[in-house]
């Protein structure tokens, strides 16, 4: 593999291991299943995969509760399976990013267990243990709320049975936050990075990349007027603290130790829902991280004005620090794009300045709106061609290439997202976008594994959406993605300059790459004419040479 800066325009496919492919027939996706399906990803044409956590975990938050950062959960296979997966991917020219979860671990992590077992243990300072407030210490140390509902602190019991200190968990009660002020934590993560880089990993996706550094004075958060508790994002002490910069620079140095290896640069992509983008781009300034997810793109409504604004602001801001932009339509935390775009409300209207909303809350609110699934799919296809024509990297969440929609009616007793319990069954959570993929056949389990019942039930309606059917259908969403990825790779214009096209305006969003390829998206109700040139690809067939509503076309204008 070359050492060019591959990450600047890589198309990265997200694998959520539990739901991608089941190799052993237990109904859970696993690493051998992933390895077996690598040729599928190679024929789709992706440059890299990002694998959501595969580490040993009690799976209280789908593996984002890590008990051992250097292993593989037996549910997913063995360590040897993982090494074989990395090698098999590399053989096919696919790079491998894995998830780093540095804000918190699992309460089953041995260091947290040691901290719990003895209030005087040195491990205690690796986490945030604090006495409670109030006369008996029975009030949490701060008023902070957890991202999954309920308080962000849980009280411990001392070994002698008496009530003890409280510990901080910004997510589930089984996800204690690490104390990044303690050098043992800092060194441990340096070591974890090197451990996986030495085993051939090409990069890390950094989970909750804006929360590791904390203000030690732990001030209370402001409670919004009319609310009973602060929003989980309210504590300034937690989010986007200045101390993050030192951590990022340190990690960059570790990654840069590998720049001159035959495999080439190792990279980071930060998960940080920070808005506006100006507070995010310092993360990717020189000497810090390589890329961040563009969540404004993911959250933007299907409106020309909103998309145009997001493209302008994110592209300009990233260029200002010399970093590539990324484009994202979905992931394992958000409503699938084919469903979101089929609703009356399609996301955040940035052009109107509407406030962003936490993804989990947005999902819950959108769920009650009916979905026009044909419209949603049509727009999702148009959106995919839009994001793949833009400069920078792009992410595909598994199943987007099949046009899969959200499963909004999973039976309550099967819901696994911790939000469901912690919100007192008010917020269903994110399981609807995590349903196992349909590979083949006409009925569930659609070839997900050799046998077994998938851990979440697949809808019958996916019979027409299996990979098997779509790979051989020239009009399928899969084939559109494959063609888009092929053109993107073959035509140098897709690595060239970005400029708004003269036909851009109103409901028509249009830009060109290197004056050679134009991308035109019609957000309006009426068909529109296209610039002169050869039509390379469309998301929906043209009608009398015109681009219909909710469609994208790529035109060679050279
Ligand atoms: C990130 C992950 C999400 C997880 C949370 C806590 O947002 O994407 O799935 O629940 O972090 O680790």
The ligand 1 atom nearest the CA atom of 103: 12
Strands 48-51 and 11-15: parallel
> Encoding tokens for residue 123?
């491990």
Cα distance between residue 199 and residue 354, in whole Å: 45
Cα distance between residue 493 and residue 231, in whole Å: 44
Coil, strand, or helix at residue 448? coil
**How far from chain centre, in Å, is Cα 411?**
25
Yes or no: say if 165 and 130 are a contact pair by the CB < 8 Å rule: yes
Q: What one-character DSSP code corresponds to residue 457?
A: P
The ligand 1 atom nearest the CA atom of 332: 9
Pocket of ligand 1 (CB under 6 A): 61, 64, 101, 171, 207-208, 271, 332-333
Q: What one-character DSSP code corresponds to residue 356?
A: P
Q: How far is the CA of 48 from the centre of ligand 1 (A)?
A: 21
Yes or no: say if 81 and 88 are a contact pair by the CB < 8 Å rule: no
Series of mean pLDDT values for 10-residue runs along the chain (558 residues): 78 98 98 98 98 98 98 98 98 98 98 97 98 96 94 96 97 98 98 98 98 96 90 90 98 96 95 95 98 96 97 97 98 97 94 80 86 98 98 98 97 95 92 98 97 96 98 98 98 96 98 97 98 97 98 95
The ligand 1 atom nearest the CA atom of 331: 8
Cα distance between residue 341 and residue 166, in whole Å: 43
Coil, strand, or helix at residue 505? strand
pLDDT at 365: 85
**Residue minimizing CA distance to atom 12 of ligand 1:** 64
The ligand 1 atom nearest the CA atom of 65: 12
The ligand 1 atom nearest the CA atom of 172: 6
Mutate to test the pocket of ligand 1, among 207, 363, 421 (most ligand atoms within 8 A of CB): 207
Q: How far is the CA of 278 from the centre of ligand 1 (A)?
A: 23
pLDDT at 1: 38
**Residue minimizing CA distance to atom 9 of ligand 1:** 333
**Residue minimizing CA distance to atom 4 of ligand 1:** 64
The ligand 1 atom nearest the CA atom of 61: 10
Strand order in the sheet with 508-513: 498-500, 508-513, 517-522, 551-556, 534-538
pLDDT at 353: 84
Tens digits of per-residue pLDDT, 324-376? 999 999 999 999 999 999 999 999 999 998 777 777 788 788 888 999 999 99
Packing angle between helix 373-389 and helix 477-490, nearest 10 degrees? 10
Q: Is 257 one of the annotated active-site residues of the chain?
A: yes
pLDDT at 558: 77
Q: How far is the CA of 62 from the centre of ligand 1 (A)?
A: 9
**Cβ-proximal residues to 226 (8 Å cutoff; 6+ apart), any chain:** none
Residues in the chain, overall count: 558
pLDDT at 554: 98
Q: Checking phi first, is residue 505 left (phi over 0); if not, alpha (psi -120 to 50) or beta? A: left
Q: How far is the CA of 333 from the centre of ligand 1 (A)?
A: 7
Helices (H) and strands (E) in the chain, counts: 15, 16
- What's the N-to-C CA distance of the chain in angstroms? 31
Cα distance between residue 502 and residue 230, in whole Å: 47
Yes or no: say if 366 and 408 are a contact pair by the CB < 8 Å rule: no
CB atoms within 10 A of CB 256: 12
Yes or no: say if 267 and 203 are a contact pair by the CB < 8 Å rule: yes
Q: How far is the CA of 226 from the centre of ligand 1 (A)?
A: 28
Instruction: Please tell me the chain's helix, strand, coil percentages from 3-state DSSP, rounded to the nearest 5.
Output: 30, 15, 55
Helix (H) or strand (E) holding 309: helix 304-320
Handedness of CA 467, 340, 268, 271 (dihedral sign): negative
Phi, psi of 14 (to 5 degrees): -85, 125
CB atoms within 10 A of CB 155: 17
pLDDT at 2: 45
pLDDT at 363: 79
> Encoding tokens for residue 121?
């243990």
Coil, strand, or helix at residue 270? strand
Residue 384 vs residues 327, 378, 401, 554: alpha-carbon distances, Å? 9, 10, 9, 12
Alpha helix positions (H), 351-434 = 359-367, 373-389, 418-422
Yes or no: say if 128 and 235 are a contact pair by the CB < 8 Å rule: no
Yes or no: say if 237 and 214 are a contact pair by the CB < 8 Å rule: yes
pLDDT at 198: 98
**Residue minimizing CA distance to atom 7 of ligand 1:** 208
> Encoding tokens for residue 415?
């819901």
Q: Is 400 one of the annotated active-site residues of the chain?
A: no
**Residue minimizing CA distance to atom 2 of ligand 1:** 207
Catalytic-labelled residue, pool 22, 65, 202, 207: 207
Mutate to test the pocket of ligand 1, among 58, 208, 328 (most ligand atoms within 8 A of CB): 208
Helix (H) or strand (E) holding 510: strand 508-513
Burial class (CB in 10 A: 0-12, 13-18, 19+), 373: middle
Cα distance between residue 295 and residue 111, in whole Å: 33
Mutate to test the pocket of ligand 1, among 64, 149, 293, 398 (most ligand atoms within 8 A of CB): 64
List 133's β-bridge partners, or say none: 139
Yes or no: say if 22 and 454 are a contact pair by the CB < 8 Å rule: yes
Catalytic-labelled residue, pool 118, 198, 257, 278: 257
Phi, psi of 293 (to 5 degrees): -70, 145
The ligand 1 atom nearest the CA atom of 64: 12
Residue 308 vs residues 77, 314, 321, 466: alpha-carbon distances, Å? 44, 10, 21, 33
pTM comes to: 0.98
Cα distance between residue 259 and residue 273, in whole Å: 28
Cα distance between residue 207 and residue 268, in whole Å: 11
Q: How far is the CA of 208 from the centre of ligand 1 (A)?
A: 7
Mutate to test the pocket of ligand 1, among 66, 333, 427, 434 (most ligand atoms within 8 A of CB): 333
Cα distance between residue 420 and residue 262, in whole Å: 46
């Amino acid at each position: 593999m070359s050492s060019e800066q591959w990450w600047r325009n890589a198309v990265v496919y997200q694998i959520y291991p539990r739901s991608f492919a089941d190799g052993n027939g237990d109904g859970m996706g696993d690493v051998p299943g992933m390895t077996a399906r690598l040729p599928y990803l190679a024929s789709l044409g992706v440059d890299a995969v990002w694998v959501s956590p595969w580490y040993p975990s009690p799976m209280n938050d789908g593996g984002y509760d890590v008990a051992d950062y250097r292993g593989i959960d037996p549910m997913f296979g063995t360590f040897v399976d993982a090494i074989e997966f990395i090698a098999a991917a590399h053989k096919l020219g696919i790079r491998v990013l894995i998830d780093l979860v540095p804000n918190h671990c699992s309460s089953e992590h041995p260091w947290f267990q040691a901290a719990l077992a003895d209030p005087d243990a040195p491990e205690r300072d690796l986490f945030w243990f604090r006495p409670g407030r109030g006369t008996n210490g029975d009030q949490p140390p701060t008023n902070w709320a957890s991202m999954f509902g309920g308080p962000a602190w849980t009280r411990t019991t001392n070994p002698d049975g008496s009530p003890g200190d409280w510990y901080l968990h910004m997510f589930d009660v089984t996800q204690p936050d690490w104390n990044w002020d303690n050098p043992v934590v800092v060194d441990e993560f340096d070591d974890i990075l090197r451990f996986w880089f030495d085993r051939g990993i090409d990069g890390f996706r950094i989970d909750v990349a804006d929360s590791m550094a904390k203000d030690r004075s732990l001030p209370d958060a402001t409670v919004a007027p009319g609310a009973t508790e602060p929003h989980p994002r309210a504590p300034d002490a937690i989010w986007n603290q200045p101390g993050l910069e030192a951590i990022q620079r340190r990690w960059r140095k570790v990654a840069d130790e590998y720049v001159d290896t035959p495999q080439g640069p190792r990279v980071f992509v930060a998960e940080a829902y920070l808005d506006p983008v100006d507070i995010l781009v310092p993360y990717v300034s020189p000497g810090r991280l390589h890329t961040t997810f563009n969540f404004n793109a993911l959250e933007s409504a299907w409106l020309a004005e909103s998309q145009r604004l997001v493209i302008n602001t994110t592209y300009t801001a990233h260029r200002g620090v010399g970093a590539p932009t990324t484009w994202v339509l979905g992931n394992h935390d958000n409503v699938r794009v084919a469903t979101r775009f089929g609703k009356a409300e399609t996301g955040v209207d940035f052009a109107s300045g509407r406030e962003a909303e936490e993804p989990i809350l947005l999902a819950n609110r959108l769920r009650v709106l009916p979905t026009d699934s044909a419209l949603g799919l049509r727009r999702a296809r148009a959106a995919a061609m839009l994001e793949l024509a833009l400069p920078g990297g792009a992410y595909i969440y598994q199943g987007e290439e099949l046009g899969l929609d959200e499963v909004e009616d999973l039976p309550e007793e099967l819901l696994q997202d911790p939000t469901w319990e912690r919100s007192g069954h008010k917020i269903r959570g994110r399981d609807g976008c995590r349903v196992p993929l349909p590979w083949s056949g006409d009925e569930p389990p659609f070839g997900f594994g050799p046998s077994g019942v998938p851990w979440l039930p697949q809808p019958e309606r996916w019979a027409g959406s299996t990979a098997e059917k779509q790979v051989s259908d020239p009009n399928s969403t899969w084939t559109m993605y494959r063609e888009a990825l092929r053109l993107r790779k073959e035509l140098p214009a897709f690595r060239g300059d970005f400029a708004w096209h003269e036909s851009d305006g109103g409901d028509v969003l249009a830009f060109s790459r290197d004056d050679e390829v134009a991308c035109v998206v019609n957000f309006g109700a009426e068909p529109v004419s296209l610039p002169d040139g050869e039509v390379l690809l469309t998301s929906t067939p043209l009608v009398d040479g015109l681009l219909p509503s909710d469609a994208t076309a790529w035109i060679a204008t050279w």
